[in-house]
Structure 1
Amino acid sequence: MAGKFEVWVDKAGDYRWNLKAGNGEVIATSQGYASKASALNGIDSVRRNAADADVVEIEK
């Protein structure tokens, strides 16, 4: 099963989304957005940018 984005409204009235893996595990959670359109734009940004994103190790 493919992953999916789930969009909902939180208790404060903000729109949020989770990215879930095919097994149902949450692998990413968004910030709160004032509008549904903004939340959907955030999903689109993840779709466009994540595939080519670098992995950077931060040493402490």
Structure 2
Amino acid sequence: MPQHDSTAPVCRDCKGFAAVAVTTGTRHRDGSRTTLLVDCRTCKGTGHTAPTAALSAGR
């Protein structure tokens, strides 16, 4: 399980698990499955997101 830095906000979409291995259903010659490593689209594989900018109170 990844360790989260308390100052960096965790990605809301992947909850910090930024990369997953997905099987394609095909197999290699040795019998192992073909997998793809897919990164979270929101955080681009970091597990953290940049803090959102606060809305300004006055215009």
Quick check: TM above 0.5?
A: no
Greater helix share, structure number? 1
Per the normalisation by structure 2, the TM-score is 0.28
Larger Rg: 2
Per the normalisation by structure 1, the TM-score is 0.28
